[in-house]
Amino acid sequence: MKKNGMKLLGGGFVVFLIAGSQLGWFASSNPDSFPKLPSEPDFAVSNAFDGKWVGRRLDESNSNMCERTTIEGHVVDGFVHLVLTYNGTSLKGWISESNQLRLYASHPQWDYRFSGIAEGNKIQGEWNLQNGPCHGTWYIEYAGKGADS
C-alpha cells in the first residue's frame, strides 16, 4: 500500500511538472520566451527627455542573488537606451507623450521587466526579474545633453 501511494504521488508530480511547463506556469530562462522590443512603438513618442541619464537600480527582495547596480544611457528622439553596468544588460524602449515607458531587456539568461514614468529631470519606476526573486525600484536623472542627443 505504501509503495502504491509513493508511485501515485511521484506520477502526479511528474504530470504536474509536464502540464505546468506546457501551460507556462513556471518562469522560463529561455530568452526566446522573453518580451522583445517592437520594431516601432504603437503610440506617439515624446522627445522632451532627450539627453544623457545616470542612476541606480535598487533591489527590495533581500536576495543575495540580486546586486545593486548603476544605470547609464541616453534618450534620443524619445528612444531610450540604458545599460545595467554590473552585467551589461541593455534596456531599450520609448517614452510616450504621456511620459510612460516600458523597457525591453536583452540578456541571454535573465528576463528583466522595467517600467516607469518620466517627470522633469528624473525617470523612475519599478522593475522585476520574471525568472528570479529580484524586484525593486529604479531611477535615472538627467545628466545633460550627450554626444548622442
Average pLDDT, stretch 58-79? 93
pTM: 0.75
Per-residue pLDDT reduced to its tens digit, 108-144: 788 899 999 999 999 999 999 998 999 999 999 999 9
Q: Residue 9 has what pLDDT? A: 63
Q: Nine-digit cell at 82?
A: 540604458
64 vs 34, more confident: 64
Residue 132 near residue 113, CB atoms below 8 Å: no
User: Which CATH code fits 41-142?
Assistant: 2.40.128.120
